[in-house]
Amino acid sequence: MKSFRLTEKEMNAMAERIQTPFLVTSLDKVAENYRFLRTYLPRAGVYYAIKANPTPEVLQMLAEMGSHFDVASAGEIEALAELGVDGSRMIYANPVKDAKGFQASVDNGVNRFTFDDESEISKMADAVPGADVLVRIQVRNNKALVDLNTKFGAPMDEALDLLEQAEKAGLHAKGICFHVGSQSLSTAAYEEALLLVRNLFDEAEARGMHLTDLDIGGGFPIPDADGLAVDLAAMMESINHQIDRLFPDTKVWMEPGRFMCGTAVNLVTSVIGTKNRGGNPWYILDEGIYGCFSGIMYDHWTYPLHCFGKGPLKASTFGGPSCDGIDVLYRDFMAPKLSVGDRVLVTEMGSYTSVSASRFNGFELAPNFIFEEQPEYSVRLSDEVEETDDVAI
């Protein structure tokens, strides 16, 4: 599957109308990603983890396509509620919930929660009595970019006790969930987790507890700057096969975050300054680490950078606009000579990017535009695809 990418011509046409920096989101691409999940992992319903990218147009479209949503705060519940999404289509998958989040759940009819510790049981029993709950278990996976199993997940041997306690407290023990870690390149991590959870389901049955729901979390990878080492369709098909084999009668869910929008967004940014540091070219962009490039810090990510100049390539450094020395984005990046005003395109900028951008130093958040609503989209539909000879990492 190809990521969404503006051509040089489209980028320039948009930048003639709109001041950089700005983001361009392709809803067609998000829709394609959603359908991909449904096609290759048909056994699992989708709870889109909106923390990855809560762009209202994206949420609206996914809601219309039938997606459910994974939320973690009052703010996320309310953002969806404002778009008309009912709480019955949300799972509150933050194992530790606060008072505001419970209130928003009650106000909007959210009735499905995850937890991973005893202390959460009485909180849920008080705030949302009778709610459906899933215990989150800890799973191991050293092939994920972002580990989520240090902070989250009950030890395997405590999971059923926790569900029993939840039942006793008047909650409805529904099932088990896990998250193998974000950008997981390992199918085995899912398959091992599924085997372990199958045992827990059987043990629960023996203890007189009938579990009906399994939630396999997120973690599905997107191409990074080096490409993608796994065959995603094969990965999902094999997870689906394992689900069919081990959980023929269970209601299964997934919580994709990164996968949904990661490949659907481009950033258009401009060179606003150049420097020569001991013979090495430096280029200062109008978007930086405190903006959409925040994922370099928080998400340990490198985004493909595309320069369009001609001429010999030189190891170059790219920095953001702020007055902080940490605001350096790329080092030793092979780029042609660039000048002030040159535009640079950054692809695969859709997940864990704009959502963690700040206004540090007074720089505004980069605005977002929906590609399919731009004139360039209709041109693309009628044009032949243009060849680009840019440089990319």
Ligand X SMILES: *Cc1c(COP(=O)(O)O)cnc(C)c1O
Sites of contact with ligand X (CB under 6 A): 49, 51-52, 70, 93, 179, 182, 217-220, 255-259
Q: How many CB atoms lie within 10 A of CB 169?
A: 16
Distance from C-alpha of 288 to C-alpha of 43, rounded to nearest angstrom: 40
Single-letter residue type at 376: E
Nearer to ligand X, 136 or 380 (CB): 136
Nearer to ligand X, 10 or 299 (CB): 299
Nearer to ligand X, 33 or 317 (CB): 33
CB 97 to ligand X: min, Å: 12
CB 152 to ligand X: min, Å: 7
CB 257 to ligand X: min, Å: 3
Q: ∠ at Cα 258 (257, 264), nearest 5°? A: 115
Contacts of 337 (CB under 8 A, 6+ apart): 281, 309, 311, 312, 314
Question: Helix 232-246 and helix 187-206: axis angle, to 10°?
Answer: 10
Identify any residues that bridge with 269 across adjacent strands, giving them in sequence order: 344
Q: How many CB atoms lie within 10 A of CB 206?
A: 9
Contacts of 290 (CB under 8 A, 6+ apart): 320, 322, 324, 327, 357, 358, 359, 360, 361, 363
Answer for the pair 40, 60: CB distance below 8 angstroms, yes or no.
no
- Find the DSSP H helices in the chain: 8-17, 27-40, 56-65, 74-82, 99-108, 118-127, 159-168, 187-206, 232-246, 258-261, 295-298, 375-382
Nearer to ligand X, 76 or 342 (CB): 76
Q: Is 275 helix (H, G, I), strand (E, B) or coil?
A: strand
CB 218 to ligand X: min, Å: 2
CB 197 to ligand X: min, Å: 15
CB 70 to ligand X: min, Å: 5
- Closest to 294 measured CA to CA, from 269, 323, 268, 327: 327
Nearer to ligand X, 220 or 283 (CB): 220
CB 298 to ligand X: min, Å: 12
Nearer to ligand X, 151 or 241 (CB): 151
Nearer to ligand X, 5 or 136 (CB): 136
Determine the residue with CB nearest ligand X. Answer: 218
Tell me, yes or no, if 261 is annotated catalytic.
Answer: no
Question: Helix 56-65 and helix 74-82: axis angle, to 10°?
Answer: 70
Distance from C-alpha of 350 to C-alpha of 262, rounded to nearest angstrom: 4
Residues 177, 292, 307, 323: which is the catalytic one?
323
- Closest to 327 measured CA to CA, from 318, 314, 335, 337: 318
Which positions are annotated as active-site residues?
Answer: 323
